[in-house]
Amino acid sequence: MNNQGESKRQQQYARMIREELSAVFQRDKRDMFGNVFVTITTVRVSPDLSVARIYFTCLALGEQTPNAPQNKADEVLEIIEENKKNIRQALGQRIGKIVRIIPELNFFKDDTAEYASKIEELLQKIQTPPTE
């Protein structure tokens, strides 16, 4: 088992779901998000493989405002939630012959990059006295 406590089977299943969902979002459902490029960053699968927690980031193509990434991620999450049944069905068509159960899909915004950016910004503001 790895340090997150996931079995090798869970890791393999999560990797397959990440790859196939990425393909669904970038090819099959590309028009669903308009001018936003959606990337699946992480997938965590329950021990019984029935539930997948999917984390995504998005990149707005074209015009951007200072708060655009956060707003776009909220919009994308809303679109995903509205179309979750179709997304799960598309995933099922891709992996249905490989697995017995298509997991329930739960989507979350991956704010790791945003968090790192805030930490970097805070670190830049720290005033350290010169060493003597």
Does residue 17 sit within a domain? yes
CB 88 within 8 A of CB 105: yes
- H or E element in which residue 105 lies: strand 104-109
Residue ranges making up the domain that contains 94 = 8-125
- Give me the pLDDT at residue 107, please: 96
- Give me the pLDDT at residue 59, please: 81
List alpha helices for 3-61, DSSP H: 8-23
Q: What is the pLDDT of residues 60-85, one digit of tens each?
A: 776 555 545 557 888 889 999 999 99
24-29: long-range contacts at Cβ-Cβ below 8 A with a sequence spacing of 24 or more? 24/87, 24/90, 24/91, 24/94, 25/56, 28/90, 29/83, 29/86, 29/87, 29/90
- Give me the pLDDT at residue 3, please: 45
Which residues of the chain, if any, have pLDDT below 50?
1-3, 67
Does residue 49 sit within a domain? yes
The enclosing domain of 114 has a CATH number of: 3.30.300.20
Does residue 2 sit within a domain? no
Does residue 131 sit within a domain? no
What is the tally of structural domains in the chain? 1
